[in-house]
Amino acid sequence: MGVAATRIFFISTTTATTEGYPRTLKSILGTLSLTSEQAERLQVKAGSQISPMLERCCLRVSANVSYQRTAEDIELLTGMRVSAKTQQRLVQRQSFEPPVLEEAVEEVSLDGGMVRLIVEPGEQPQWKQYKAVHLEPGKVHGAWLDDNSALVAWLNRQSFGARVTCLGDGHDGIWNVFDQIKGEVERHEILDWYHLMENLEKVGGSLKRLAQARSLLWQGKVDETLVLFEDCQRHQAHCFCQYLRKHRYRIVNYDYLQAEEICSIGSGAVESTVKQIDRRLQISGARWKREHVPTVLAHRCAYLNRQL
């Protein structure tokens, strides 16, 4: 029995039907001849000319590299030609649902990333900020562009323990999202230690005073730190003191939390999420249509969450 006949026999045996009109389908086994009824029983999407496994292979590859490179890699790996335009359409017609953790969420960190948009010829390059989320345990990632309601809805589908740690930098938008977490949850909000130190370094001036401030803040002593800068006339010092007052209750005893390994003291996990997302969104020369970005973000996160 030849290869083609073997494929026909295998499909007929697996689907237990030969009914329907004839169709052809690209697959990792080559081009298959089958009927519409057989395609339906093999869970091939209506109108699709690509098998589910080949589609999955395409989605896994295009989550990491450009659509043109994906087309080249898929042809090399499977022998099947799936154009770059088709690769893009495959992504855009998907619905990548972010996962809901089976375990109770203990830690949420939130940060922003940037994506470059396509503009009209002659216009200045345009960058748009998206929000990325990292959940623990499970190292689960999510990202949304201009859609806080979807982000919050996803967070509120999770189950939380009695106490959840919320980590972020000083941006108001981050804490506004955390404020919308529902349920009987005690939020333990923590200002990212490393972001706090970045702002301290902007003050400049006496190195001794900066060292003293660093030591005090490491133990969460905001009032004592404010006293250090009382006589400092530098504009940066006034801005830093306002920053400390604004986030007073988010500046904790970092020393204790780290020594006891109670929770994270920085938003490094979500910053890593942003970097991993940007490996796809910011590859050399990448620019995106505004309407395509949400799906591209969801696609990349689905890959990072091992959903593909």
- Give pLDDT tens digits for 88-146: 999 999 989 999 998 899 999 999 999 999 888 888 889 999 999 999 988 899 999 99
pLDDT exceeds cutoff 60 at 196: yes
Domain-ending residue, one of 92, 116, 138: 92
Domain-embedded: residue 272? no
Higher model confidence: residue 232 or residue 114? Answer: 114
Domain-embedded: residue 147? yes
Per-residue model confidence (pLDDT) at position 122: 81
Domain-embedded: residue 298? yes
**pLDDT bracket for residue 237 (50, 70, 90):** confident
Domain-ending residue, one of 38, 63, 92: 92
pLDDT exceeds cutoff 90 at 44: no
* Domain residue limits at 141: 102-190+285-308
Domain-embedded: residue 109? yes
pLDDT exceeds cutoff 80 at 13: no
Domain-ending residue, one of 39, 67, 92: 92
- Beta-bridged to residue 117, according to DSSP, are 126, 288
pLDDT exceeds cutoff 80 at 226: yes
pLDDT exceeds cutoff 50 at 46: yes
Quick one: 8 and 145 in the same domain? no
Quick one: 79 and 215 in the same domain? no
Higher model confidence: residue 299 or residue 209? Answer: 299
Domain-embedded: residue 276? no
Quick one: 121 and 48 in the same domain? no
> Which CATH number covers residue 160?
3.30.420
pLDDT, tens digit (0-9, with 9 covering 90-100), for 158-191: 988 888 999 998 888 899 999 998 877 888 999 9
Higher model confidence: residue 306 or residue 234? Answer: 306
Q: Strand ranges (DSSP E) for 44-151?
A: 105-117, 126-136, 140-144
Q: SS3 of 167, please? A: strand
Considering its fold, how many domains does the chain have in total? 3
Quick one: 33 and 145 in the same domain? no
Quick one: 301 and 171 in the same domain? yes
Q: How many helices and strands in the chain, by DSSP H and E?
A: 14, 7
Per-residue model confidence (pLDDT) at position 2: 47
Quick one: 33 and 10 in the same domain? yes
Per-residue model confidence (pLDDT) at position 1: 45
pLDDT exceeds cutoff 90 at 246: yes
**Angle between helical axes of 293-304 and 52-62 (0-180°, round to 10):** 100
pLDDT exceeds cutoff 90 at 26: no
**pLDDT bracket for residue 15 (50, 70, 90):** low
- Beta-bridged to residue 127, according to DSSP, are 116
50's tokens: 């690509």
Per-residue model confidence (pLDDT) at position 301: 96
Quick one: 245 and 297 in the same domain? no
Lowest mean pLDDT of 46-50, 166-170, 194-198, 222-226, name the range.
46-50
Per-residue model confidence (pLDDT) at position 143: 95
The overall average pLDDT reported for the chain is 88
Domain-embedded: residue 273? no
The percentage of residues in the chain with a pLDDT greater than 90, rounded to a whole number, is 57
Lowest mean pLDDT of 25-34, 200-209, 242-251, name the range.
25-34
109's tokens: 């960190």
Q: SS3 of 298, please? A: helix
Rounded-to-integer distance, Cα 16 and Cα 55, Å: 24
Quick one: 118 and 66 in the same domain? no
Domain-embedded: residue 204? yes
Pair 77, 54: CB distance under 8 Å: no
Domain-embedded: residue 184? yes
Quick one: 110 and 185 in the same domain? yes
Per-residue model confidence (pLDDT) at position 181: 87
Give 248's DSSP letter. G
Quick one: 180 and 305 in the same domain? yes
Quick one: 119 and 59 in the same domain? no
Q: SS3 of 242, please? A: helix
Quick one: 7 and 137 in the same domain? no
3-state secondary structure 31-67: EEEEEHHHHHHCCCCCCCCECHHHHHHHHHHHCCCCH
